[in-house]
Structure 1
Amino acid sequence: MNDTKEKIDSKQDEMKGGFATFIWNPWKKEFCGRTASSWGKIFVFYVIFYICLAAFWAIMLLIFRSTIDDKQPKWKLADSRIGTNPGLGYRPRPPRERLESTLIRFRRNNQKTFQHWVQDLTTFTNEYSNSNKTGSGGAAHPIDCETSQISADNQFCFFDVRKLGSECTKENSFGYAEGKPCVLIKLNRIFDWKPQTYDPTDYDNPSLPQELRTAMRNTYDQSKGARRYIYITCQGQNPIDKENVGPIKFYPEPGIRDYYFPFRNQDNYKSPFVFAQFTNPSHGLVINVECKAWAKNIKHNLLEREGSVHFELSIE
């Protein structure tokens, strides 16, 4: 019994001695199995290796940066992945926990159910109210294109939210408290894209879709001349939805003026939009809504989200 214990103790002493010797071997002057000279060579190798690696990436980054313009993409329009056909976006967006949802659901006269939708629209429109209209230094200069014309490359047309009227405002809860919700519709930005607008006098052209002709008729004012618009239309997606969606009003107009384009990454630029207000939608069911933008160079593909956008309304 004592012999077995002595053997175990002897084995443990050998293991301890072996590990201690590995950490520092006084006879060979080695630390962790290597001499000071060997450790020095490894250190010098990795210093040189990482210096060369850092220099390589610095050169690659410099070459990469030399091909990029901070103001405009290298590939534009048809040469880019984005292409030349803009999509449509809408607000309000759903909460983060339902980010993939396209359903706008609330209960009339119940603030808790529509508070998120109102807050999201308020946050988005406040960015327009707080934007700088005058510009400074080398920044782009927003101007009122109703009264002036763009005369320099650093100018663009200012989108004034004060002209949207009083229905689709945060003071009016964007119509949600009354069951008349406002939905903001805007074009997605494509650098240097210009709309090829329809002639507004063609509102009686039978070859054009009826919804487009109606929008053109609503914007045409002979006394103001032939204003050019990217027309915006919204309607129920299916026959049953068209029966239940009810009348729709647009603010400030059922279209976006063409002078807001092209977008060229100007400082302080804000995308123009329209509010679609659903003034008398049916309650207690889900209504599928499809909105479209109309110009000669806008094609519609709902599945690819080109030229149109889809969402649902449900008012209880």
Structure 2
Amino acid sequence: MTVKKRPSDLTSLERFNLYYREKEPPLTGGQKVKRFIWNPKTRQFCGRTGASWSKIMLFYFTFYAALAILVAICMWTFLQLLDAREPKWQLESSIIGTNPGLGFRPMPPEVASSVIWYKGNDPGSYQFWISELSSFLQKYKRDANKSGAGQNIHNCDFKLPPPAGKVCDVDVSLCSPCVEDNGFAYQKSTPCIFLKLNKIYGWKPEFYNSSDNLPSAMPDDLKEHIKNMTAYNKNYLNMVWVSCQGENPADRENIGPIQYLPHRGFPGYYFPYTNQEGYLSPLVAVHLQRPKTGMLINIECRAWANNIKYDRVEGMGSVHIEIMVE
């Protein structure tokens, strides 16, 4: 048997529920939403009073502030362990490894493409390639009006390596006719392509120490060039040599004669790269002097040194270029 409580025996909450259940009509869906957002009788916003919201906001503010401080401390500690100029992991212990890649400029607008195509009689079609090369070579130009410009640049030679704190100059004016004033010879249908080795901190090339001990796979014209140069100056052996040729017999027939400027390779005095201030990668300008027009020519350019591994499939030690001049 249920005993009915007297009003004086009810708790405040029971009296509240009894009163409003008896007095309030059922709420519609919209009214329930409005009541949830703001309840004027209980002064609750989204089911919480002002004091409740203040407490929860204080909790989350404290939590995320502590989390941010912890992350900042971890980042600061991590940065203290890093050298701003010298990477902790180098050469064999690094992800980059010890085999520098060979790159070329100008690059096509499509990232996955390696095709340089233009019409020799249409300035609009080759202006893009000229602009790309001009932009790329901009950093190789010294601004004489800029304070301190070129102060750590040294005019190096095989007998004059850079002293401590200096870097070797890369004089692109020696690459004529592959210069900006000449439009890099694109308007003459004899385009220039620039090659560069990707920088690897601390990497030193292992040169071929004798012109009589060259790889059998090396092109005959390069072997002959090395023998002629080293007969004049043995120091020229200290070079990362470069060769470019058509990939297939038809390409080798269509590519025509090639000129390499200012050297047929990257002089050894530019290495190693140790993040020196003002350091610029050496360049080789490849001038295609008479490529056959109207033909797509596949070209493979390769870097030669004892410690540069070559794999055409993987693109190691070489770069694939396609060019078509109409």
TM-score by shorter chain over 0.5? yes
Q: Please tell me the residue identity of whatever aligns with 2:229.
A: T
Q: How big is each residue's C-alpha offset from its partner over 1:220-247, in whole Å with a ceiling of 9 and x where there is no partner? A: 352x443211101000011111111111
Segments of 5+ residues of structure 1 without an aligned counterpart are: 1-9
For the residues of structure 1 that align with 2:147 and 2:225, how far apart are their CA atoms? 34
SS at match of 1:120: helix
Structure 1 residue 76: deviation in Å? 0.6
Q: 1:25 corresponds to which residue? A: 39
Q: 1:42 corresponds to which residue? A: 56
Q: Please tell me the residue identity of whatever aligns with 2:311.
A: N
Q: How big is each residue's C-alpha offset from its partner over 1:23-47, in whole Å with a ceiling of 9 and x where there is no partner? A: 4434434332222332222122112
1:57 to 67, 71, 88: 71
Q: How does 1:147-226 map to 2 (within 5 A)?
A: 148-152=160-164, 154-164=165-175, 166-199=176-209, 201-202=210-211, 207=216, 209-211=218-220, 212-217=222-227, 219-222=229-232, 224-226=233-235
Segments of 5+ residues of structure 2 without an aligned counterpart are: 1-23
Structure 1 residue 267: deviation in Å? 1.5
Would you say 1:304 and 2:314 are equivalent positions? Answer: yes
Q: 1:144 corresponds to which residue? A: 155
Structure 1 residue 75: deviation in Å? 0.6
Q: Please tell me the residue identity of whatever aligns with 2:211.
A: D
For the residues of structure 2 that align with 1:281 and 1:32, how far apart are their CA atoms? 76
For the residues of structure 1 that align with 2:152 and 2:123, how far apart are their CA atoms? 39
For the residues of structure 2 that align with 1:16 and 1:104, how far apart are their CA atoms? 66
Structure 1 residue 19: deviation in Å? 4.2
Structure 1 residue 163: deviation in Å? 2.1
Residue identity over aligned pairs, in percent, reads: 38
For the residues of structure 1 that align with 2:27 and 2:292, how far apart are their CA atoms? 88
For the residues of structure 1 that align with 2:256 and 2:309, how far apart are their CA atoms? 26
Matched-pair contact (CA < 8 Å) for 1:192–1:262: yes
Matched-pair contact (CA < 8 Å) for 1:134–1:141: no
Matched-pair contact (CA < 8 Å) for 2:123–2:187: yes
The normalised TM-score by structure 1 is 0.86
Structure 1 residue 99: deviation in Å? 2.6
Q: Please tell me the residue identity of whatever aligns with 2:68.
A: A
Deviates more, 1:208-217 or 1:75-84: 208-217
Would you say 1:92 and 2:130 are equivalent positions? Answer: no
Tell me: CA distance 1:132–1:82, structure 2 relative to 1, closer, same or farther (3 Å).
farther
Matched-pair contact (CA < 8 Å) for 1:184–1:275: yes
Structure 1 residue 149: deviation in Å? 3.5
Q: Please tell me the residue identity of whatever aligns with 2:167.
A: F
Q: 1:7 corresponds to which residue? A: none
Q: How big is each residue's C-alpha offset from its partner over 1:116-147, in whole Å with a ceiling of 9 and x where there is no partner? A: 1111112222220136799959x982211137
SS at match of 1:47: helix
Tell me: CA distance 1:176–1:304, structure 2 relative to 1, closer, same or farther (3 Å).
same
Tell me: CA distance 1:315–1:218, structure 2 relative to 1, closer, same or farther (3 Å).
farther
Structure 1 residue 278: deviation in Å? 0.9
Matched-pair contact (CA < 8 Å) for 2:38–2:45: yes
Matched-pair contact (CA < 8 Å) for 2:219–2:243: no
Q: 1:67 corresponds to which residue? A: 81
SS at match of 1:220: helix
SS at match of 1:163: helix
Would you say 1:115 and 2:127 are equivalent positions? Answer: yes
Q: How big is each residue's C-alpha offset from its partner over 1:131-172, in whole Å with a ceiling of 9 and x where there is no partner? A: 6799959x98221113744331x22212122222x2111222
For the residues of structure 1 that align with 2:259 and 2:182, how far apart are their CA atoms? 15
For the residues of structure 2 that align with 1:136 and 1:125, how far apart are their CA atoms? 20
The normalised TM-score by structure 2 is 0.83
Q: Please tell me the residue identity of whatever aligns with 1:100.
A: A
Q: Please tell me the residue identity of whatever aligns with 2:294.
A: G
Q: Please tell me the residue identity of whatever aligns with 1:111.
A: P
For the residues of structure 2 that align with 1:133 and 1:156, how far apart are their CA atoms? 20
Query: Based on CA coordinates, which of the two structures has the bigger radius of gyration?
Result: 2
Q: Please tell me the residue identity of whatever aligns with 1:69.
A: D
Matched-pair contact (CA < 8 Å) for 1:235–1:242: yes
Q: How big is each residue's C-alpha offset from its partner over 1:190-220, in whole Å with a ceiling of 9 and x where there is no partner? A: 1110111112x41575856334413413533
SS at match of 1:75: coil
SS at match of 1:226: helix
